[in-house]
Structure 1
Amino acid sequence: MSYLVISFSHKNTDIEMREKLAFNDTELKDRFLKNILACDTTKEAVVLSTCNRVEIITRSSNIKNSSKDIIQKISDFSGVEFDKLYKRADIYDNDGAVHHLFTVASALDSLVIGETQIVGQLKDAFRYSQGKGYCAQNITRVMNYAFKCAANVRNATSLGTGSVSVASTAVAKAKEIIGNTTGIKALVIGAGEMSELTVKHLLASGFDVIITSRNMKKAQNLADTFEVNVDVAPYESLTALLGQVPVMITATSAPYPIITSSNAPEASFNRYWFDIAVPRDIDDIDLPNLQIYSVDDLQDIVNENMSLRAEQAKTAYSIVSKNSLEFFDWLKSLEIEPVVKHLYTKADEIIEKKMANAIKKGFIKAEDEENIRKLCQTVITEYLHAPSKELKNISQNMECDIVVGSIQKMFGLTNDSDLSEKYRCEHLSKN
């Protein structure tokens, strides 16, 4: 079995394709996960779907068969032709899959290098699959280690500090265009996590913020979380607001455009609309004095961000590579530890059996039983010390699987596969 990751991101697909691939509906995602796990070669699965990427993280006994089956089912779900998807998909196998996953978790593969939302989104995706029973020990191990890697990158670099998200990038672009933001109104459509980040960055940049949402209670609750005044406007006034404010940023989870030619008014002043939702919230609209930016249009600021963070990124990539190698070493050690444990357990069973038989036949006195047991255990411990140490060294070598299999067969040892809780990573519970 190998780890398999199929990736569609801003690196290999444009926003038109990504919005077709996005899993914004939990029911659709659940159905898709069930469908791909129905394939005999695909075991365990997590789907990460964000505005910039769709990642399918699985285990597979046949990479070629699983890849084709998964992409076919993505094609069925999205309506995008199989050949087009297969050509665009980045398919990662085993060590490549683990390295890619760690890179994604550490925000090194993001549109904005170092953005802080991705690890939380990955944790949410993992928790969903775990709660549904779609992933087990092997995915649990690699995901927990990915979170550990992300924490290592955050602790060793400054990539996670400052304003590094699609929301902050949109606000930075707006501020660059507007210049002096004092007294400039900015409208935020939506009241979710991305909208909250957007409001924070707008306020920090000096904009006067208005929030509107279909869910007015949620919008008001969001506005109330800020120490400075944030206005809340009824969603019914959206058209009027669009004709009054120069800056608008929308980040809803609507499956279709909420702003079209029918509700987009003309204005005599310059307006700048930022659509950071996938699927897009803004339809193709051509109006005078209006500039619309989608996620992909923010690439210039992203490029500047990457340039400034290049040295930090080098350090981060070296951490990812090191953690990827350590992960596989750790997996090998997990294979060795049950073998060593079972060798000692098997020896203890033999000692107990022979002790009982010797007492029964009168070869030893009952009052000497404990001392003789300790002597036998001392002999076994000393005898197995060198082989146990050598086994742990073998875990670093390519022949590990062969050696472990041979020892298990020779000594009649069983596999100890229930280790997911014992080796559960503490980073899962941390944000």
Structure 2
Amino acid sequence: MNQNIINARITFRNAPIHILERFTIRDLENAYVHFKKHSGLEECVIIQTCNRIELFGKAKNYNIDKIKKTWASLTGLEEEAFEENIEVVENLEAIHHLLKLTSGLDSMVIGEEQILGQIKNSITSARNAKASGQHLNNLFDKAIRIGTRIRNSSGINRGGISVGSMAVKLAEENVDELKLKKILLIGTGEVSTLVAKSLARRGYDFVVTSRTMDRSQAFCETMGGKPVKFEDVLSGFENYDVLFVATTAPYFLVTQERIVKAMKIKKSGMMILDLSNPRTVDEKVATIGAVKLMNLDQIAEMVEKNMKSRLNKVKSVENIISEEVSVLEASMKRLDAEPLVKDVFKNIDSLRVKELQKALQMLNEKDEKKIKIIEELTKAVVESIVSTPMNNIRKASEQGEPDIIEMASKLFDYKKQKELD
């Protein structure tokens, strides 16, 4: 492609939620102005969800350092903050990634529906801000259509469930009147994000704790819930009825001693779901009266059964995407030839009209029916002569042959015409 399609992204795959949140762009309209002015991108679209911040751009030449610098200026971060977390791909890989997004393959929960709506909103916002143009508008419109078709034909969006939503479902099944209970979520990582999304979607109030209050607050701003101090939680488990524990601590956070102490004070039971790997809830907790403990292995087994049908479809969806990528890339390459083709047709038609007027004056023809016939004849002659070379130029563009486009530009005096305009 004469024009590069670029994707720069920070997602849940390379940054935990409390880090990801720092890269969020608050003022999109202002961001579009800055990216087009300072980053070297001629077109851009920003996708932001609780799991990802992504920038798609189009440019003939681009400099990733300028993109990072612009992004950093919009978020108040140092450029160095991007080094460990940002991932950058271009052209075929960028198109492939967008199709994975629209079809649901790159989501935390495979096949989830929400991302497709978020992508539609993103391209609409970019259009309204006049940040996207011919290339990205075409790319996103086609990617959305392809993603929708893949979802409908494969059924990948049906019948799946995440570890987080399964854990919440188990809590609902085992705890009476869960909405009246005090729910605690320990951790702010990937699994905690899934739990928080599921709790928020079902309308449950919950509190969140992590090693630092800043991390808990950042998580709650994005995912919902109320932050509480880590120290207060460890000494006050009696204040909670349901615990979702999803941390990477190398030791037991929820010990037998702490829960025994809590249950002496509590007058009701407690359910604990240990979603950590390795486990951070002491298994001896399960022996305490009125305490129900479930660990990640038990929950994951249920999820695996539920997800099996969806995961079986991933390979077939990948195959469809691989086929569609090459078609989509060809259509994007074809856009490189369109300005030349459009200009040639316009100039030749202008000459046709000019010569037609001369001929009609010489014939002194007044019969409207005959004039119409002559005009249609001139159009047909021009079309039959010009269509074949123009379609060949388009094909050359699709096949990545810029030399032919360059030669055609010289033959049809395309650059010179542009300069005169």
Above 0.5 in TM-score? yes
Q: For residues 293-337 of structure 1, what are the alpha-carbon distances to aligned partners after superposition, in whole Å with 9 as ceiling and x for unaligned?
A: 69x998984994776533311111122222222222223444556
Q: Distance in 1 between matches of 2:70 and 2:134?
A: 25
Pair 1:196–1:75, CA change in 2 (3 A): closer
1:103 CA drift (Å): 1.2
Give aligned-pair identity as a percent. Answer: 19
1:260 matched to 2:229? The reply is yes
Pair 1:90–1:273, CA change in 2 (3 A): same
Q: Distance in 2 between matches of 1:411 and 1:257?
A: 66
Q: Distance in 2 between matches of 1:112 and 1:325?
A: 26
| SS of aligned partner of 1:87 | coil
1:5-404 aligned at under 5 Å gives the runs 5-23=7-25, 26-27=26-27, 29-63=28-62, 65=63, 67-75=64-72, 82-83=79-80, 85-164=82-161, 169-176=163-170, 178=171, 180-181=173-174, 183-186=176-179, 198=198, 211-212=204-205, 253=222, 258-261=227-230, 265-267=236-238, 271-273=242-244, 288-289=258-259, 301=300, 304=304, 308-336=309-337, 343-360=344-361, 362=362, 367=367, 369-399=371-401, 401-404=402-405
Q: Distance in 1 between matches of 2:121 and 2:35?
A: 20
Q: Distance in 2 between matches of 1:255 and 1:196?
A: 7
Q: Distance in 1 between matches of 2:313 and 2:95?
A: 21
In structure 2, what residue type is equivalent to 1:349?
S
Q: Contact 2:330–2:399 (CA<8 Å) still a contact in 1?
A: no
1:49 CA drift (Å): 2.4
Q: Contact 1:112–1:306 (CA<8 Å) still a contact in 2?
A: no
1:73 CA drift (Å): 4.3
Question: Normalization by structure 2: what TM-score?
Answer: 0.66
Q: Distance in 2 between matches of 1:7 and 1:188?
A: 37
1:124 CA drift (Å): 2.4
- Bigger drift between 373-382 and 310-319 goes to 373-382
Pair 1:22–1:256, CA change in 2 (3 A): farther
Larger Cα Rg: Structure 1 or Structure 2? 2
Q: Distance in 2 between matches of 1:143 and 1:255?
A: 30
RMSD of aligned Cα (Å)? 4.5
Q: For residues 233-260 of structure 1, what are the alpha-carbon distances to aligned partners after superposition, in whole Å with 9 as ceiling and x for unaligned?
A: xxxxx89xxxxxxxxxx96647996333
1:403 CA drift (Å): 2.7
Question: Normalization by structure 1: what TM-score?
Answer: 0.65
1:359 CA drift (Å): 4.6
In structure 2, what residue type is equivalent to 1:45?
C
1:117 CA drift (Å): 1.2
- Bigger drift between 385-394 and 302-311 goes to 302-311
Q: Distance in 1 between matches of 2:114 and 2:308?
A: 21
In structure 2, what residue type is equivalent to 1:129?
A
Q: Distance in 2 between matches of 1:71 and 1:256?
A: 32
Gaps of 5+ in 1: 203-209, 214-237, 240-249, 276-284, 418-431
Q: For residues 79-135 of structure 1, what are the alpha-carbon distances to aligned partners after superposition, in whole Å with 9 as ceiling and x for unaligned?
A: 765445223321111221121122122221112111111112222233333323333
Q: Contact 1:105–1:150 (CA<8 Å) still a contact in 2?
A: yes
1:21 CA drift (Å): 2.5
Q: Contact 1:152–1:319 (CA<8 Å) still a contact in 2?
A: no
Q: Distance in 1 between matches of 2:80 and 2:100?
A: 27
Pair 1:323–1:10, CA change in 2 (3 A): same
In structure 1, what residue type is equivalent to 2:20?
R
Q: For residues 373-400 of structure 1, what are the alpha-carbon distances to aligned partners after superposition, in whole Å with 9 as ceiling and x for unaligned?
A: 444444334433543453454343222x
Q: Distance in 1 between matches of 2:397 and 2:6?
A: 23
In structure 1, what residue type is equivalent to 2:327?
E
